Amino acid sequence: MECLLQKTEMKLLSTWLVLLIVNQAISILKTEEVTWHPTYHLAPPKGWINDPNGLIYHNGCYHAFFQYNPENNKEGTKYWGHARSYDMLNWEYLPIALSPSLEDDINGIFSGSAVNIHGKLVLIYTGVSDNFNKQRQMVAISSDDVNFEKRGVVIIKDKDESNFRDPKAWFQNGSWWVVMGSQTTDKLGEVLLYSSNDFFNWTYQGVLAGGNESLGYMWECPDFFTINGKQILVVSPQGIKQDGFNYQNLYQTGYFVGDWEPGKNYTIKKGFTEIDHGHDFYASQSFLAPDGRRIQISWLDMWESVFAENVTGWSGMFTIPREISLTDSGDLLSKPIREILEKRNQNTDIFDTIISSNQMLTLNNSVFSSEILIEFNFLNSSCQAIQLFLKEEPTIDEGVVLYVDFELNRLFMERYYPKYGLDKSNRSVAIDLSLSKLSLDIFVDSSSIEVFVNDGVAVMSSRIYPNNNQRKFSVAPVNGYVNISLISYDIVVKNQ
């Protein structure tokens, strides 16, 4: 009884603290000017979104479906929202595609994928029922790419159905295939494989890949595709413990590289590797553009984190669509889609200068919907570190700092927004500072920052919550001087 009372007291205290933070945020928003809804990232006009679903190019349009709660700006019963675009940056929001309505999806519409079958847009998704204890795979078909007719359950897992979700389907060698996120009986993550001749009758083909205790207790949102003759398996494990600079978020998204063909086992050649090293990146999904590029989009958020924007009526957003490729050594490269080049308006001259530790270069006083290209020339530099600030002033603690550490050979991203409940924390990625140059392609939107390092060798993505007067971008070396060249653009996109 004493333990129960303690738990009750802790729960009441936790609820009180959340309410306090929310009330403080509302009070601050009433007195300080903030604009957080993104301009060139997909986010809901209102309500909540999380995982991207059903990404596909179909009938001349890019379609993005997403986990959606239209009635509340917090997580709740899931629907599938729907948007389409001609360039993956300007999005038109369409009516809700899927709503809970059948016995097998009455508790929610969880993640899934989309395919083209005889010219029709077909969705395969996880229907949830029995208080989330039943997770079954279901199909819906559209004749107009907007309205969908449900066709019911097509895959049921034997025995435990409580962790069996997120089907990703594709066509290969005359058959349909689908991978499923799952959990073993001894609570380890795994990906299951099924095949079908008609997309409605599926045969279990076995475990495609499985983890161990070091790789978490559940694997969500699998994605499986081929690049350069290698098969890439992307998963989002839950329950990986932090290991030094790795796995610092609550959950991760990463990839394996291996060999597979129908009828054979998946042979892994490169072990699990994180895709993005920022605070907010989860549930990646990919698809093929009509020109053959593999495009990846992720949820630019993290479970059980602060969603300060929900006091303004919406929560959640997606990353910039990224073109992904594979190096000869098996490393995944991520670059912003080239369509974004057409949205640039140059807003600064090109700076090419040397700055010393008693100087600071301010590029822009209002980095809002922007791209900043920076290159450091180490052949003409001598310093211990380089700091880049997105703040009201560099001397003020609140805001974002990017920090190139020459001793640790790492790029750090630190953010701090205490009045909105975000404590000071950093994420980092290893960088090769033996090279003569370091290039950073930095995208700042209303409430996000994405940093592409050395043409996509590494990426860091995080949510940020600056007031409108906290958007000054400055650069300064530490204990020495640095040769820097940079240029800034406005990104002009208008979502409907």
From the candidates 51, 166, 276, 301, which is the catalytic residue?
Answer: 51
How many helices and strands (H and E) does the chain possess? 1, 34
Structure tokens that stand for 124 in this block: 């395969």
Structure tokens that stand for 291 in this block: 């020109």
- Of the candidates 244, 242, 324, 249, the one whose C-alpha atom is nearest the C-alpha of residue 284 is 324
Using an 8 Å Cβ cutoff, are 55 and 48 in contact? Answer: no
**Position 308: which residue type?**
A
For residue 372, give the H/E element and its range. Answer: strand 370-382
What is the four-CA torsion angle of 340, 343, 349, 352, rounded to 10 degrees? 0
Using an 8 Å Cβ cutoff, are 174 and 164 in contact? Answer: no
CB neighbours of 453 closer than 8 A, spacing ≥ 6? Answer: 411, 429, 431, 438, 439, 440, 459, 460
- Of the candidates 94, 86, 92, the one whose C-alpha atom is nearest the C-alpha of residue 343 is 86
Residue 51 falls in the annotated catalytic set: yes
User: For the chain, how big is the Rg over CA atoms in Å?
Assistant: 23
Structure tokens that stand for 88 in this block: 């993956």
Residues 121 and 64: their CA atoms lie apart, in Å, by 12
Burial grade of 453 (CB within 10 A; 0-12, 13-18, 19 or more): buried
Block residue for tokens 């993104």: 38
**Burial per residue of 211-248, b for 16 or more beta-carbon CB atoms within 10 angstroms, e otherwise:** beeebbbbbbbbbbbeeeebbbbbbbbbbbeeeeebbb
Block residue for tokens 């994180």: 274
Using an 8 Å Cβ cutoff, are 172 and 262 in contact? Answer: yes
Q: Which residues are catalytic?
A: 51
